[in-house]
Structures are given as C-alpha cells and as structure tokens.
Amino acid sequence: MLNIDKIRKSQTNIITIGSYPAIIASMLDFDYLSKKEKPSIKAIIAAGRKFERYFFGRREILIPVFPSFDQVPESKRLSATFFLNLSSGRRVLTSSIEAINKLPALVGGAVFAENTPEKHAVELKEYAKQKGVFIIGPSSVGIIVPSKIKLGAVGGVDYKQIISAKLLDQGSIAVLSASGGMTNELINILANTGKTLSFSLSFGGDRFPMVTPSEAILAAERDPQTSAIVYFGELGGKDEYHIAQLLNEGKITKPIICYIAGTVAEMFPTSPQFGHAKAMAKTTEETAKAKRDALKQAGAKVAESFKEFVKMIEKIPRPTPEVKAAPTSGVNKLSKKDIIESMHDRNHALISTSISGYKEGKVLVLGEELLDFAKNHSFAYIVASIFLGKKIKSRELEEFVDFILRLLVDHGPYVSGAVNTIVSSRAGRDLVSSLASGILTIGPRFGGAINQAAKNWLVGITSAKSPSAFVEEFASKKIYISGIGHRKYRSDMPDPRVAEIISYSEGLEARFTSFAREVEKITVGKKGNLILNVDGAIACVLLDILNEKEGYSVEELKKLVEVEFFNALFVLSRSVGFIGHYLDQKRLDEGVFRLEEEHVAQAEIED
C-alpha cells in the first residue's frame, strides 16, 4: 500500500537497478538542494565500472557499482528503503523481485522502463502487495515528495527545473497523472500559481499500472499533508469510474480537480490510439466525455478544457490552519540566481581519488591533515589505511601489518629481485632504476604468491569444499598450491617465521587459517616439504583479520585479491631491502658485474 506519510518518515536510502546518468544526477541535485548531508543513492546495480562519478553540489562523489545485489555490502542492503528500476522492460520482473527479496527494509520502488510485458507488471504488482511494498510504474517518471525524496525523473532532470518547480518546499497539493510529461507540466503550473506540492507521482502509461489512479488518490486522502488533489486523466480504461465510486461512498473527502483529455477522439469514426497503451476508448463509457460526466456527478471538480483546468488550479485555496505545510528548506533563503551560479560551471575532474587531497591550503590524507595523520598513527596504521582506502579500525590489523612489513624486508642477496638490483647498481644505474629492476621481477614465482595464496584460501572457503577435495583438485590438474611448499624447510624442520605469523590468528575464529592448516596436514602427508609457507600463512591470517576485525565480506575480500592488495605489503617491504642492496653496492664499489664463461652452460637441445 502506498503510504505518503510513511515515505516522509522513512530514511531515504536508494539503490538503482541500472544506470541512467541524467536521472541519477538530478536525484543527487535534489538531495543537495534539499540540504541533505549525504546523497540518498547508496549503490547502483550494473555491469562495468566499480564506481560512477557524480556531483553532490560542487563536490564530486563516487557512487559504488555492483554487478548484483549479492555483492552489495550487507550494511547497504539492510538499510536500503527504496529502489529505482532503470533496467530494460524485459528485466523488470526478475530484478524488481530480487530487490524486494534482498532489501529487508524496503518501503517501495519505481519502474522507469517502457515495454514491460503486461503479464510481468501484473505478477510484480501482486508480489509487491504480498510483501507489503509499493511499486510505481512501469513507464513512470516516478514519485517526488518535496525536500524528502525524488525517485526518478519526476520534476525534471536539471537542477534549475528543481528550483523553479519549488520542489524544495513541502506543500499541500497532490499532483497525479499517467503521463510523465504532464506530471511535470502540472508541477510547474502549480509552482507558477504560487502553490507547492505535498507529493506527485506518475502512474505510468502502461495498461496495468502497479499503483492505479484510485490507489494514488486514496494515498492522498490518507496523507495528512495533502489538502487537495490535482488529477490529469485520459480516455480509455475505467479508472475514473473507480474514483467516482470512491467519491460516492465517501471514501474520498478532499477536493479533486480533474481534467480528462481526449475528447478529440470522438470526432473520428473509431477511436484512435493515443500515446499510452491504455489511451484508446474501446466503448462509449471509456470516452473522455463519459468519464468527465461520471466524475462530475460524483462531486469532483472537472474542467472542460485545459485552460479551465489551469484556472481551477489557480483557485485552490491555501491550506487551512488544520492542514499546515511543513517548514521550507533552508536552501531557499538563497536566491535562485545565487543557487544557479554556484552550480552552473561544474566540470568533472580528470582523475578521482579517495586517498588524499587539498583543502584550504592543507594536505589531507583520508580526511585528516597530513601532519596530524603522521603524528598520531604508526607507519603500519598509515600503510594499511592508505592501501585499503579507509582508516582501519582494529589494533590486530595494525600490529600484524607492522610485523609483516618488518618480516618481509629482506631475504638475502640470493633472490631474483635482490640480484637484479645488485647487478643494476654495479652497472652504474641510479637508485630509482636499480629499485625498479628489482621490483619488476616480482611475480608468480617471486613475491607474488601471497595474493595467489589468498585467492586459494578464499576459493576453498567459498566453494565449501573439504580440504582433501581442494588438494585433490590441484593434484588432478598438476598445479602447485600457492602458499604451500618450501625448498629448505620441512614438516620435521618447520619454518620459525610461519609459527610466528600464525600466532596472530589466536583469539579469532580464523576459518581461513584453519582451512590452510588442514590443507597442510594433507600435503605434508604426500611430501615432507609441502608445508604452509610464509606466503600462505600471511594470506590466511590477513584474510581472517580483515574479515573478523575490519568487517570485510567475502565479496570485498575477493576485490582486494583482484587489485593485488596482498602483494602490496610485500612490494612495499621488500623495496626497503632492495634499496639497502643498492646502497650497499655503491659503498662497496665493486664495478660492473659480469659472468665468466664457466658460469654459463651452453645448453644443447636434442631434436
């Protein structure tokens, strides 16, 4: 059931299904002009990018994009109260039902798409009714409650239209129409007569709207903010007879000002089809004139021409003391000119960043002044926060990152990265070139295994496979398990670093670490050196801390793997060691490195 007062009192947290930049931008402009502290759109369900850039006032913001509701963070799903479906008509039913099922706090939604199959519209309406949520549409520009929510293109897609239509002031007149264009036109007519809205919505032009005209008018009747109703109808269908019945039964007591368009159709031998699916009179009682007469007899104020309709709107009285308009938004203390000038020259930046910036002459890192950020936090805290793109919450992560950065700093001059750095330094290359030559060796066989190990443990947990099945799958494909195996250490001579790393999982549920240890039990049974190594241990403990102490979901952990977050700690730490080797070689000044002939074997490959 559509309940306007409930909409006013609900938190406005919107998820859009699909992306339509002009509509989304207009909703954000509405939020900003309504003096909201934060944008109402919390997420976009779409393929492609991970974020979309929009303006919130003059400030650019990033709206997160997720390929499905399942990948939306739980906090956003649990708090979402409205959805706007911008997908194609054929996807409306499945995507809207998914929204209803996945968003437990849902109040309602709107469907913008045209060409939604009629059968789907009927099914969706029934499903929404069972679940206690409203859905407006299909083919609807949406619903607007001034200064509260703009759900769709209703009211226009330009901030100047939002201002001129007085959509920032809560008023007392409801505007209802099937036509999106006419809905916006009536909103502007109302504004030009010095009056303001309580709410407005477009039913949509399809044959079976999910919120019918009579249901919308009943919502206006129940709304304590609404004192009068402006209704624009069309020929075709029998909605006006239902409205007339409600008037006759006394279920509608508030004044209704109506205009039913389409009398020109009666000049033709047979009624033509107008723009909307339902706008065609199949019988005499579906003509515009017959429906006007029925409404008049029931007590509605019905105009015979659009000009008369406008004059009737002009005569709607101001709210009585019993029906008071809510306070207007503070933004209207500024002139229209000032508001427009503050927003007209917005241009998108060439790049976006969520890490640092400049404000009032000061450098900010994650929202904190650089000097304070450096003074108040450890290096490990700063590294973890910057790598994750937000300030970390737990002491456990800070301490673990600190230990890992110290542990990984060097592993002798024998490994490929150190060798390349040493060779470059002795060849006379500069610091940056020598460091780069060492870093460029980092990959699947050297240093890059932490990330792959994290991916392995994630797959093991999310696939719900037993450790033995997990191991067998790798064995059947003859693939090494990243994070398992060491050249030097064995089960009877364990790597002391691994035990120290694993100790950081104490006190945690540690499901990733437990899984990794179970895998190790199976692999060492096959061969003694197939132990959990440093890479595998770091990966599983880091996954557990991020999951349990920082609140990262499995989907968010997968994204960290995709961007190689787990390798980033190795790259940072080992860079210190590479720089050390570079400086060491400059001090020793041994000259250019060259292999002697006996150090190189001439390989002969037989056919």
Secondary structure of 192-227 as H, E, C letters: HCCCCEEEEEECCCCCCCCCCHHHHHHHHHHCCCCC
* pLDDT of amino acid 236: 67
The residues, any chain, with a CB within 8 Å of residue 205's CB and separated by 6 or more, are 114, 139, 178, 179, 180, 275, 276, 277, 278, 279
Mean pLDDT of 515-528: 94
Q: What is the mean pLDDT of residues 342-357?
A: 83
Q: Cα–chain-centroid distance for residue 593? A: 54
Residue 42: phi and psi, rounded to 5, are: -100, -25
What is the token pair recorded at 264? 């020109």
Question: Can you give the pLDDT at residue 500?
Answer: 96
Q: Which residue type occupies 201?
A: L
- Of 231, 196, 569, which is closest to residue 379 (Cα–Cα)? 569
**pLDDT at residue number 343:** 81
The CATH fold assigned to 4-325 is Rossmann fold (3.40.50)
pLDDT bucket at 275, cuts 50 / 70 / 90: low
Write down the pLDDT at residue 145: 96
**DSSP of 58-81:** TEEEEEEEESSGGGS-HHHHHH--
Q: How far apart are CA 111 and CA 99, in angstroms?
A: 12
Residue extent(s) of CATH 3.40.50.261 domains in the chain: 4-325
Contacts of 393 (CB under 8 A, 6+ apart): 549, 550, 551
Angstrom distance (rounded) from CA 443 to CA 569 = 14
Q: Has residue 323 got a pLDDT over 50? A: no
Output the pLDDT for position 233.
85
* SS3 (DSSP) at 356: strand
Q: What is the spatial distance between Cα 60 and Cα 103, in angstroms, rounded to a whole number?
A: 27
Catalytic center residues: 276
Residue 325 has pLDDT above 50, yes or no: no
Cα–Cα dist 107/511, whole Å: 36
More confident residue, 357 or 97: 97
pTM beyond 0.85, yes or no: no
Taking only the tens place, the pLDDT of each residue in 33-58 is 998 989 999 999 999 888 999 999 88
Tell me the two tokens of residue 63.
């709206």
Confidence of residue 324 (pLDDT cuts 50, 70, 90): very low
Segment 84-98 mean pLDDT: 95
How is residue 196 written in tokens?
């303001």
137's CB contacts (< 8 A; 6+ apart) are: 85, 110, 111, 112, 113, 116, 203, 204, 206, 209, 210
